[in-house]
Structure 1
């Protein structure tokens, strides 16, 4: 049912808006991805961690060549599972190697449709042109950019596919969420660590209707590491609005980042995080005491691993 959806269109005067770039997007040749292996479940030393999957009924399957009928889009060092209904990613999974990070790789100047899916399966520039919505990377551009320079360049370009994008307001994409992503990547590089990160939107019946799309009100991130002493650790984070939206500009100050339990992210998304939950202290607390554990992060140094 969609009766609870809030109309985004009613909050903004679109007038005679012309979508400047819609219809001019480039499409990646499906053959480009033939050798992409995507997210590596064996990436973390001593921890086999399969890609957490959402319910099969929610997934958009690939429609190209030998990959027809598969559920996962593989890119360089990361993978994406798309929503059949929303035309947005349900979950992305990336491996980060802090020891092999390559920096100063230039940004792409355009976003691409993934040719393994129909255009109608992906939201292109029609959703983002001439408004305050960013094409928010779910797999951050810098995260999979490691290895040789050639591999890093492929990974960089791969992140600029609409399949890796969700609509985010600038304050979320460029400030609050970016701070958490910077923190994760900086620590991975500083310690020469390997990290696996899972990211996606929270789809609910209260999401905003805008240009025929449903704009998520919240996003989540789950981080898995093996510490220097061999301990497995999983932590989860969520960013959302504390109050209902009043205008198109959003209540920027209402956005906050919270550390939550992996179990909570699984409940709200339907994604199976069963392999991660035993290594999350927040989940352990909730099961032991029967109440939700949420910590507002005023400072990222407050993160509990």
Structure 2
């Protein structure tokens, strides 16, 4: 299969891209196997979505130069001027590896496409370059997915908060969110009568949501530039949160993803429902047995 963008039906269930609840203007930019909804006022993505076929992932060399997307006005994108001479990295939202599946050529083209500025957001270097939990979440979900074809859809973006600190004309996001979704797609398609293990005769959708906080790290960068006292460097923290909480925090319509939450109490809101993660074994990717 080849897809020219994020594909809502990739999991055998219709899963639309999360979109802003406030109806703000966004520019929808499509790339091989992924899409970006760009907020031209904030100059950052409000949502990205990528489809991953884990069974045909390719390990292609890292190649690509960061570039502005000519389909969007240059002033609507956070370009190279944001990242020069500081400790901020161009952090991939859709990971370079995620759309890199199919044939070798398809994987090469798709991974190179991830180096577009609408697919980047400022991330403190010690966050983006680390081998910590956040950067391995997709791999962990792929390993868990019980569908034979290991299909996963992943949505990622910064939380665009009104209180994000200004820096070089851009408000730098302090938090990032991610939702991973998967289902038993091949099992459903393999049955002669079209009957699957889903309760309504369709594939079973599951989803897990995560939130990462880089507040302490961003404060260090912006304070050092302004000459203010630099706070102690705190480690970034990663949480598993109810999917519906992402809708609340980021102001997004998460559609069917909320009902597919693997947490046993997805209706709970607030920090009391957040599970801080330290190692992959802390992640919950299946509902507890009754």
- Give the structure-1-normalised TM-score: 0.77
Report the 3-state secondary structure (helix = DSSP H, G, I; strand = E; otherwise coil) of the residue aligned with 2:179. strand
In structure 2, do the counterparts of structure 1 residues 109 and 221 end up closer, same or farther at CA, with 3 Å as the change threshold? same
Equivalent residue number for residue 74 of structure 1? 30
1:269 corresponds to: 250
- Equivalent of 1:102 in 54, 58, 80: 58
Between 132-141 and 183-192, report the one with greater CA deviation: 183-192
Q: Give the superposition deviation at 1:148.
A: 1.1
Q: State the Cα deviation string for residues 233-260 of structure 1 (Å, max 9, x = none).
A: 1110000047586522775543111000
Name the CA shift for 1:36/1:114 in 2 (closer, same or farther; >3 Å). farther
Q: Distance in 2 between matches of 1:182 and 1:277?
A: 22
Q: CA deviation at 1:112?
A: 1.1
Shift of 1:180: 2.6
Tell me whether 292-301 or 91-100 shows the greater mean CA deviation.
Answer: 292-301
Q: CA RMSD in A?
A: 2.7
Q: 1:281 to 1:189 in 2, by over 3 A?
A: closer
In the alignment, the residues of structure 2 paired with residue 91 and residue 251 of structure 1 have an alpha-carbon distance, to the nearest angstrom, of 31
Give SS of 1:172's match: helix
1:210-255 CA deviation, whole Å, 9 max, x = no partner? 1111100000000101157653211100000475865227755431
Match of 1:23 in 2: none
SS in 2 for 1:153: helix
C-alpha change, 1:236 and 1:252, in structure 2 (3 Å) is farther
* Structure 1 residues 181 and 60: alpha-carbon distance in aligned structure 2, compared to 1, 3 A threshold: same
Given that residues 208 and 214 in structure 1 are in contact (C-alpha distance below 8 angstroms), is that contact kept between their aligned partners in structure 2? yes
1:164 lines up with 2:127 in the alignment: no
1:31-180 alignment runs, 5 A limit:
37-45=4-12, 47-55=13-21, 57-61=23-27, 72-103=28-59, 105-175=60-130, 176=132, 177-180=134-137
Distance, in Å, in 2 between the alignment partners of 1:162 and 1:186 is 29
TM-score, with length taken from structure 2: 0.80
Q: Who is 1:198 aligned against?
A: 155
Unaligned runs of 5+ in 1: 1-34, 62-71
Report if the CA contact (8 A) 2:217-2:236 is conserved.
no
Q: Does 1:224 align with 2:178?
A: no
Paired residue secondary structure (2:255): coil
| Structure 2: gaps (5+ residues) | 188-196, 198-202, 225-230, 286-290
Partners in 2 of 1:237 and 1:96 — Cα distance?
Answer: 18
Kindly tell me: are residues 94 and 173 of structure 1, through their superposed partners in 2, closer, same or farther at Cα, counting changes over 3 Å? same
- Kindly report which structure 2 residues correspond to 1:211-250, keeping only aligned pairs within 5 A, or say none: 211-227=168-184, 230-241=203-214, 246-248=219-221
